């Protein structure tokens, strides 16, 4: 078994690490405090091909693999989880479905500018009554000549407040459940009847906007349909599988930041005349963090490798997302504990890491849903 990274993968990791340390990390606290979208950072990431790493170069992307994507996303999320969330959605939830299911014309129009970082993409699935159960979607799309008329509301859409394009799920045939769902790729900036209703005030990832999208008799061209009518659920499942790899990487990045900062603090913090790293209680916390984060990272690489090699990865992606987010949540709580009072104050980034970590257990499918996905695969013998 070879765990060695290729020269190209190492190059991507080093580039992302340098960029994250110099351009993102020094600004992360202010971005979080001000709930500010990191527009200039995202633009620079586009120039470095990080907004569409696995998209072929002819469509504006980096032409790399998903392992490279994971390596880069870990480094970006380590510096700022909000920026990692924007990067993850752009790559996994927008670029992937347009690349996988779009026509040549759709790829040139809707994929290239987003993969190049010139525009931002979002993914519109969740609704007030449809999150874990996509069959409960109420957003509808009705064909009217050479157009589709879309009505409905989408909730908790990452980057929805700044996105120029969106992949939106809607019911095109009522009464058919999952088989009645279709996907549309929509130019949000120029669609009459579309608006951003609100941007949520959240616990964490505050520099990443989470918006409510409203469609009121919004008319989009007939060729906005992504793939074939009724194939939206199948597209959705595969897209979310890849998205879970991205969230696992984001979680690992947050966890790495927690471990580094907890270790650095523990080495310099003295109690009873010696650094607290000399106390077994602290040593065990650090050891558990390091061990679990290494395991989570390896699980994430495995899922990305399976996707790159055309092998089934649904179970591996769910396992990586579930485990990495649970591990990172535990690590962040322990990180605050190690820093004590300082860990509870905004003077140190540890409290931000704990706030940011929590969402990884929720979005891209809650960890309860991940356990169902894993169990279903086991029962089916996959």
The CA distance from 353 to 35, in Å, is 15
Other Cβ atoms less than 10 A from the Cβ of 275: the count is: 14
Q: What are 85-135's pLDDT values in tens digits?
A: 999 999 999 999 999 999 999 999 999 999 999 999 999 999 999 888 887
Residue in 7, 105, 364, 368 annotated catalytic: 364
CA 69 to chain CA centroid, Å, is 11
The CATH fold assigned to 233-379 is Butyryl-CoA Dehydrogenase, subunit A; domain 3 (1.20.140)
Phi and psi angles of residue 194, each rounded to the nearest 5 degrees, phi first: -105, 140
Pull the structure tokens for residue 203: 């616990």
Domain with CATH 1.10.540.10 in the chain: 7-119
Residues 6+ apart with CB under 8 A from 6: none
The pLDDT confidence band at residue 248, using thresholds 50, 70 and 90, is very high
**Is the model's pLDDT at 1 over the cut of 80?**
no
Measured CA to CA in angstroms, residue 263 lies from 67, 273, 291 at distances of: 27, 18, 14
> What is the per-residue pLDDT for 130?
87
The CA distance from 138 to 12, in Å, is 41
Other Cβ atoms less than 10 A from the Cβ of 34: the count is: 10
Burial class (CB in 10 A: 0-12, 13-18, 19+), 25: middle
C-beta contacts of 276-284 below 8 A and 24+ residues apart: 276/338, 282/338
The pLDDT confidence band at residue 144, using thresholds 50, 70 and 90, is very high
The pLDDT confidence band at residue 177, using thresholds 50, 70 and 90, is confident
- Average the pLDDT over 2-12 and give the result: 95
Closest Cα to residue 60, out of 130, 118, 106? 118
> What is the per-residue pLDDT for 135?
79
Domain with CATH 1.20.140.10 in the chain: 233-379
Among this protein's residues, is 364 annotated catalytic?
yes
Residues 6+ apart with CB under 8 A from 347: none
C-beta separation of 168 from 184 below 8 A: yes
Residues 6+ apart with CB under 8 A from 324: 247, 248, 249, 251, 252, 255, 296, 297, 299, 300, 360
CATH numeric code, 7-119 = 1.10.540.10
> What is the per-residue pLDDT for 233?
95
C-beta separation of 36 from 26 below 8 A: no
**Is the model's pLDDT at 251 over the cut of 80?**
yes
CATH class as words, domain 122-230: mainly beta
Pull the structure tokens for residue 36: 């500010």
The CA distance from 267 to 338, in Å, is 11
Q: Looking at residue 133, what DSSP letter applies? A: -
> What is the per-residue pLDDT for 13?
98
Per DSSP bridges, beta strands 225-226 and 210-221 are unpaired
The CA distance from 106 to 117, in Å, is 17
HSE-CB at 229 with a 13 A cutoff on CA atoms is 12
- Average the pLDDT over 13-17 and give the result: 98
Q: What is the dihedral of CA 43, 47, 52, 56, to 10 degrees?
A: 150
**Is the model's pLDDT at 345 over the cut of 80?**
yes
């Amino acid at each position: 078994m070879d765990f060695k990274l290729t020269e190209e993968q190492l190059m991507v990791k080093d580039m992302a690490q340098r960029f994250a340390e110099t351009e993102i990390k020094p600004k992360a606290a202010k971005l979080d405090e001000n709930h500010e979208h990191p527009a200039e950072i995202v633009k620079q990431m586009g120039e470095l091909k990080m907004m569409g790493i696995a998209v072929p170069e002819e469509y504006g992307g980096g032409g790399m693999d998903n392992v490279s994507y994971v390596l880069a996303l870990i480094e970006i999320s380590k510096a700022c989880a909000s920026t990692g969330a924007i990067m993850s959605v752009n790559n996994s939830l927008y670029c992937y479905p347009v690349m996988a299911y779009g026509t040549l014309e759709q790829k040139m129009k809707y994929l290239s500018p987003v993969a190049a970082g010139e525009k931002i993409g979002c993914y519109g699935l969740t609704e007030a009554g449809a999150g874990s159960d996509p069959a409960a979607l109420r957003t509808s799309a009705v064909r009217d000549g050479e157009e589709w008329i879309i009505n409905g509301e989408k909730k908790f859409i990452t980057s929805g407040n700044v996105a120029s394009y969106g992949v939106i799920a809607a019911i095109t045939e009522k009464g058919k459940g999952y088989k009645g769902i279709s996907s549309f790729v929509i130019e949000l900036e120029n669609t009459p009847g579309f608006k951003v209703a609100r941007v949520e005030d959240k616990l964490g990832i505050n520099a990443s906007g989470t918006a409510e999208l409203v469609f009121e008799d919004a008319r989009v061209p007939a060729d906005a349909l992504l793939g074939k009518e009724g194939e939206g659920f199948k597209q959705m499942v595969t897209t979310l599988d890849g998205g879970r790899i991205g969230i696992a990487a984001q979680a690992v990045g947050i966890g790495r930041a927690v471990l580094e900062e907890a270790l650095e603090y523990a080495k310099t913090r003295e109690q009873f005349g010696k650094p607290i790293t000399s106390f077994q209680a602290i040593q065990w916390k650090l050891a558990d963090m390091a061990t679990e984060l290494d395991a989570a990272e390896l699980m994430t690489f495995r899922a990305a490798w399976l996707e790159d090699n055309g092998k089934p990865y649904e179970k591996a992606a769910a396992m990586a997302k579930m485990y990495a987010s649970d591990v990172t949540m535990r690590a962040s709580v322990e990180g605050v504990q190690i820093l004590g009072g300082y860990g509870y104050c905004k003077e140190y980034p540890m409290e931000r890491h704990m706030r940011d970590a929590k969402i990884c257990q929720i979005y891209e499918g809650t960890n309860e849903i991940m356990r169902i996905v894993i169990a279903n695969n086991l029962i089916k013998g996959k």
